[in-house]
Amino acid sequence: MSADPVALTRDLIRCPSVTPAEGGALAYLESVLTAAGFRVHRMTFHEPGAEDVENLYARIGDTEPNLVFAGHTDVVPPGDETTWTHPPFSGDVVKGELFGRGAVDMKGGIACAVAAVLDHLAANGGKPRKDGAGSISFLITGDEEGIAVNGTPKLLDWCAKQGEKFDHCVLGEPSNVENLGDTIKIGRRGSLNGTLIVHGKQGHVAYPQRADNPIRGLVALIAALQAEPLDVGNPNFQPSHLEFTSVDVGNKTVNLIPGEARARFNIRFNDYHTQESLKALLEERALKVAGNAIRFTFEWQPSNANVFVTSPGPFTEMVATAINDVTARSPTLSTTGGTSDARFITHHCPVVEFGLVGQTMHQVNERVPIADLRALTVIYRKIVERYFT
């Protein structure tokens, strides 16, 4: 099998693996890794109310340390395919760029990791180290772009039951902002969704004394919850923030005071907080304003998006040095952006995210420069070499 990251990326893009469909992507990786000597396991996980998801775990070597490359082969839908300059699952190469859904997020990152590891094994007699020590693994899921129930969490549980242990992980998400080498993600903020509900009394607008308009209370509580910052941030994280995203009373009649008003919100929070401490904080702030005059409740949406951070140290320094050697850039250690599967992996080992540039991910004409694929492969190869030195 080819260790060319461009060919590997192209072949993965040609697998239409829109969440949660496997689309042939895991089968392709299984064939490549099996040919290289990996023990490959594919499994499908089930959960009531969620779609079944196929996943893959592969390992070569039997001893510690075990360096893991993680990622997902599922992609978001391409949308209206007629708006694409090149078909989203074609893997066309035009003017030095490879087009296709998943080119950046994140089949390209997986392909670069596979190519780097295959090159490393070829130079070391098919082993992570010439003396046979150490292991390299791939942890590949199929629903990161979905609800992330039957993917990485279940796959990690399966690995734990099999006695698989991990020492460090590189997750190939598109971490860079403008140029390859500008950013390593060492953590992610947590995410919590909720709905603020104010309970009033329905009535005719001509007789407001007979009703209790919940909209007034909702406006007051929204203002109170946003009046003070949740925190001021810290060296690893930006300040936490709360954003209201919709306000709804479900009222289609102009002369009717509604009986209830709702406002949905999201909180992106740092490691000053937990989900439970945030719930308590918002309840406390709302009660101060509401007193006995406003009747309200919160509805909280279950969330597995908890905050985490990998403390800077020898592993992050090794990754940053490899990046600098190839790109001449000193990457920023960042915790910005949305959630990723790193939030699950962090419970098993230290994890950093470093992949391609995320400029075109999830967009029409998603694409990656060929030069970036080759450079990322070299970076991953240096990481592997230094890890096992």
Axis crossing angle, helix 107-123 with helix 370-387, rounded to the nearest 10: 50
Give me the pLDDT at residue 147, please. Answer: 85
* Cα 5-138-170 angle, rounded to 5 deg: 80
Residues 18/88/98/386 CA torsion (nearest 10 deg) = 0
- DSSP state for residue 236 in the 8-state scheme: T
- Compute the distance between CA of residue 65 and CA of residue 129 in angstroms, rounded to an integer: 11
What are 127-149's pLDDT values in tens digits? 999 999 999 999 999 999 988 88
Residue 173 sits in the same domain as residue 215: no
Which residue type sits at 218? L
Residue 37 sits in the same domain as residue 179: yes
Residue 42 sits in the same domain as residue 154: yes
Residue 146 sits in the same domain as residue 204: no
* pLDDT (tens place) for every residue of the chain, 389 residues total: 458 999 999 999 999 999 999 999 999 999 999 999 999 999 999 988 888 999 999 999 999 999 999 999 999 999 999 999 999 999 999 999 999 999 999 999 999 999 999 999 999 999 999 999 999 999 999 999 988 889 999 999 999 999 999 999 999 999 999 999 999 999 999 999 999 999 999 999 999 999 999 999 999 999 999 999 999 999 999 999 999 999 999 899 999 999 999 999 999 999 999 999 999 999 999 999 999 999 999 999 988 889 999 999 999 999 999 999 999 999 999 999 888 999 999 999 999 999 999 999 999 999 999 999 999 999 999 999 999 98
Last residue of a domain, which of 300, 317, 332?
Answer: 300
41: domain CATH number is: 3.40.630.10
Residue 138 sits in the same domain as residue 282: no
Residue 206 sits in the same domain as residue 79: no
Give me the pLDDT at residue 338, please. Answer: 85
205: domain CATH number is: 3.30.70.360
Nearest residue to 139 via CA among 38, 8, 17: 38
Last residue of a domain, which of 260, 285, 300?
Answer: 300
Residue 161 sits in the same domain as residue 29: yes
Last residue of a domain, which of 262, 279, 300?
Answer: 300
Give me the pLDDT at residue 2, please. Answer: 57
Residue 160 sits in the same domain as residue 280: no
Query: Which residues are tagged catalytic?
Result: 74, 144
E strands, the chain, in order: 39-47, 50-60, 66-72, 93-94, 97-99, 135-141, 168-171, 183-185, 187-188, 190-199, 203-204, 241-248, 256-257, 260-269, 295-300, 308-309, 332-334, 351-353, 367-369
Residue 67 sits in the same domain as residue 204: no
pTM for the structure as a whole: 0.89
Cross-strand pairs, 70: 139, 171
What is the extent of the structural domain holding 274? Answer: 190-300
Give me the pLDDT at residue 14, please. Answer: 98
- DSSP state for residue 363 in the 8-state scheme: S
Per the structure, the count of domains in the chain is: 2
Residue 67 sits in the same domain as residue 181: yes
Residue 27 sits in the same domain as residue 107: yes
- Compute the distance between CA of residue 306 and CA of residue 339 in angstroms, rounded to an integer: 9
Give me the pLDDT at residue 49, please. Answer: 83
Residue 131 sits in the same domain as residue 254: no
Element (H, E) at 119: helix 107-123
